[in-house]
Structure 1
Amino acid sequence: MGMLHREAMLVSTDWLAEHLDDDTVRVLDCRYYFDGRDGYAEYRAGHIPGARYFDWTRVTVDPDDPIAYRLASPEYIAAQLGELGIGDAHTIVGYDDEGGHFVARLWLALARYGRADRLRILDGGWTRWGLEGRPVSTEEPTWPAAHFTLPGMQPDPQLVVEAETVLRAIAERSAVVLDVRRLSEFTGEEVRARRGGHIPGAQHWFWQQSLDWDSDRRFVPREQVVESLRAVGVDPDTPVITYCHGGVRAAHAALALRLAGFRDVRVYVGSWAEWGNRDDLPIALGTP
């Protein structure tokens, strides 16, 4: 496991504008909402020219797992991507309007199964694209079905961890467990599972701190991420396990930490959707 280089992971709006007619690039609109809005409706109202809509819940989530939002198998994800028209030779560029929040879930799936090299994230996404007044389309392109391969390998050992690994990390103090949800979820005031609260011993670090949220939602400089994490006792050499509710904000936080030079970052993908619904796992309430 190691840091990610920004130039290998992020692309600018200028770069994407220059590659909109590149047949080797597949642009995915990953907008999604938990507040009742319809991401596909937002896409149909206007999107980056040439982009297709991408629903992470249909492509990266195991439909048969009783725990919500768990990662699907490499065979399932590869088949979904191929059906969408993404093949092994394509470079995927994903964007949303939350700084790569939902694109990060695709990154987690591809990184877990050995193909993160195929993905780039549009830094600032739809937010920056709109602020710059760039062209918008309502046409939905179609791409011929393709063959996408996911080796099923895990180049980063234990990139995705289970609850038992989190329990060991707590007991052995071998990693910092980082809760990246809203503070109201952490304290237990906001309850989205059978139980509210947080994993005992977890540190709270809101995932949006990695983004210029009130402006164009690009990733903030590395030094800013490092400084905000040192405030909760985490430095780039500290082993970290991130979690949220469904493994999406946690994926974005893990990506942001890796981009900032943190070397050992893993994601508890079951997150609170599992932990908060299992009576055999301990919980804590209150402020950090």
Structure 2
Amino acid sequence: MRLTLAAVGSLFLVGAGQANSDFLVSTDWLEQNLNNEDLRVLEVSVVPGKFERGHIPGAVNLHWHTELVDPVKRDIASRDNFQALLRKAGISEGTTLVLYGDSNNWFAAWGAWIFDVYRVPSVKLLDGGRDKWEAEGRPLDVRPSQYPPGNITLAERNDALRARLGDVLAVAEGRTDTALIDIRSADEYNGKIFAPAGVQELAVRAGHIPGAVNVPWSSAVAADGTFKPVEELRALYQGVGVDGSKPIIVYCRIGERSSHTWFVLSKLLGYEVRNYDGSWTEYGNSVGVPIANPAGTVWGGT
């Protein structure tokens, strides 16, 4: 007989002193609850094919580059397409969702942001993601997971969670009192490099949006990929003047790493945060916008 979450209790445990457990589950808790019928585990990884080579038993794969986005225009998946995807995964009203992925949950956090945009409740991240699960020698399965169709009905988008080009331009030009956090590496922020090596999405300008402070996304995680304790996280952002007293916009290159920081600031610290998913590939390719480029790197030169 399969147990329900109600039967075993709904406490989602994380490490002692760790960030808000309402939005995180531990690897121990997840392994103990894989057979709960009102739980659905979803993998959103960066590397295509990783799921097929082995995944958490019962997990459903969500392809970030085809299923969570509009296939033609640059946008997140439409309400109808996203709803159909979730129903196919067996997700119904009241299903608790646990997302995980590789690269310290980069795209799993991005998936969580999209779920939040569509106002889906009970969405959590596996603290430490796929890497921690594997490092601890927990079970993996290569069999595809199939479920009866779900009945979830999505709400309309919550645009308050999303920043646009005009919103960050207002910050750059000093027309709005909003904190802006660039979560890319210091070399990207300072304009030394245009993007990490090997990526396809590029901007023709280097640097950052004026007024942005730099807190690389990786500053928020411990060596094993789990989130640092909440007091450490709060101190980390207070160190650059971000304390939640005013709205925050986060950005990166295409919006996935900034979703990780969005999750930290919004879900774990409770701040008012928007994710600018256009990020540097939109801003750095826009004509006439102000740019801070301390390194002075120029497209086509050194």
With normalisation by structure 2, the TM-score equals 0.83
Cα distance in 2 between the residues matched to 1:151 and 1:259: 20
Query: What is the CA distance between 1:144 and its match in structure 2?
Result: 2.8
CA displacement 1:50-70 (0-9 Å, x = unmatched): 1122212222212222x4xx3
* Residue 126 in structure 1 maps to residue 126 in structure 2: no
Query: What is the CA distance between 1:270 and its match in structure 2?
Result: 0.9
Give the direction of change, closer, same or farther, for the CA distance of 1:176–1:151 in structure 2 (3 Å limit): same
Moved more, 255-264 or 225-234: 255-264
* Residue 13 in structure 1 maps to residue 27 in structure 2: yes
* Residue 89 in structure 1 maps to residue 99 in structure 2: no
* Residue 158 in structure 1 maps to residue 160 in structure 2: yes
Query: What is the CA distance between 1:153 and its match in structure 2?
Result: 4.6
CA displacement 1:149-175 (0-9 Å, x = unmatched): 211152xx6210111111223323411
* Residue 58 in structure 1 maps to residue 61 in structure 2: no
Name the counterpart of 1:72: 77
2:20–2:230 CA contact under 8 A, matched in 1: no
Choose which of 210, 234, 248 in structure 1 pairs with 2:242.
Answer: 234
1:59–1:81 CA contact under 8 A, matched in 2: no
CA displacement 1:96-125 (0-9 Å, x = unmatched): 13332211111111111211x131111112
* Residue 168 in structure 1 maps to residue 170 in structure 2: yes
Aligned CA-pair RMSD = 1.9
CA displacement 1:71-97 (0-9 Å, x = unmatched): 232222112222333233322211113
Q: How do 1:1-288 and structure 2 match up within 5 A?
A: 6-33=20-47, 39-40=48-49, 42-65=50-73, 67=74, 70-115=75-120, 117-154=121-158, 158-170=160-172, 171-191=174-194, 192-212=202-222, 214=223, 216-286=224-294
Partner AA of 1:19 in structure 2: N
1:223–1:260 CA contact under 8 A, matched in 2: no
Match of 1:241, SS state, is: strand
Cα distance in 2 between the residues matched to 1:82 and 1:262: 30
| Structure 2 gaps, min length 5 | 1-18, 195-201, 296-302
Runs of 4+ in 1 over 6 A off after TM superposition: none
2:99–2:112 CA contact under 8 A, matched in 1: no
| Identical-residue share of aligned pairs (%) | 33
Cα distance in 1 between the residues matched to 2:294 and 2:181: 15
CA displacement 1:254-273 (0-9 Å, x = unmatched): 11112342422111121112
Query: What is the CA distance between 1:239 and its match in structure 2?
Result: 2.1
Partner AA of 1:179 in structure 2: D
Instruction: Name the larger-Rg structure.
Output: 2
Cα distance in 1 between the residues matched to 2:116 and 2:70: 16
Name the counterpart of 2:3: none
Cα distance in 1 between the residues matched to 2:236 and 2:131: 24
Cα distance in 2 between the residues matched to 1:81 and 1:57: 16
Query: What is the CA distance between 1:180 and its match in structure 2?
Result: 0.5
1:94–1:120 CA contact under 8 A, matched in 2: yes
Aligned residues, how many?
269
Give the direction of change, closer, same or farther, for the CA distance of 1:46–1:104 in structure 2 (3 Å limit): same
Cα distance in 2 between the residues matched to 1:166 and 1:90: 35
1:90–1:118 CA contact under 8 A, matched in 2: yes
Cα distance in 1 between the residues matched to 2:250 and 2:113: 12
| Structure 1 gaps, min length 5 | 34-38
Query: What is the CA distance between 1:10 and its match in structure 2?
Result: 0.6
Give the direction of change, closer, same or farther, for the CA distance of 1:260–1:143 in structure 2 (3 Å limit): closer
Name the counterpart of 1:36: none
Greater RCO (Cα-Cα under 8 Å, separation 6 or more): 1
1:61–1:72 CA contact under 8 A, matched in 2: yes
Moved more, 260-269 or 8-17: 260-269
Cα distance in 1 between the residues matched to 2:102 and 2:83: 25
With normalisation by structure 1, the TM-score equals 0.86
Partner AA of 1:140 in structure 2: P
